[in-house]
């Protein structure tokens, strides 16, 4: 799993995905989503690092079975929170 922190308008956005999804382009309705290292990073992260970044972020964008399974196992999300785009699990979390 890889991830990257972005800072935008005083907010921290954590983007994380399964490593094997990097470079993949998927379609959601008319929207093309490119899973790029520019947004999701290229550094492999441990589970502990991912959880630390999650709890520190204001917004979270996640793609992939491995990282979604991690969030499920820690009771951060439920199966009902997951949407599937071309059979790839996806989660967005916003702290309000």
pLDDT in tens, the chain (96 residues): 999 999 999 999 999 999 999 999 999 989 999 999 999 999 899 999 999 999 999 999 999 999 999 999 999 999 999 999 999 999 999 987
Whether residue 85 contacts residue 38, with contact meaning beta carbons closer than 8 Å, is answered with: no
Query: By the 8 A CB rule, do 71 and 27 touch?
Result: no
What's the structural domain count of the chain?
1
pLDDT in tens, 76-85: 999 999 999 9
| Run of H or E including 70 | helix 65-73
Report the CATH number that the domain containing residue 37 is assigned in CATH. 3.30.1860.10
pTM of the model: 0.90
- Please give the residue range of the domain that contains residue 13: 2-94
Given this model, what pLDDT does residue 96 score? 77
pLDDT of residue 27: 93
């Amino acid at each position: 799993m890889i991830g990257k922190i972005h800072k935008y308008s005083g907010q921290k956005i954590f983007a994380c995905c399964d490593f094997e999804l990097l470079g993949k382009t998927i379609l959601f309705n008319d929207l093309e989503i490119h899973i790029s290292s520019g947004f999701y990073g290229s550094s492999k992260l441990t589970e502990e690092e991912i959880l630390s970044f999650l709890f520190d972020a204001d917004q979270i964008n996640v793609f992939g079975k491995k990282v979604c399974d991690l969030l499920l196992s820690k009771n951060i999300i439920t199966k009902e929170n997951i949407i599937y785009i071309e059979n790839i699990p996806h989660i967005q979390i916003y702290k309000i």
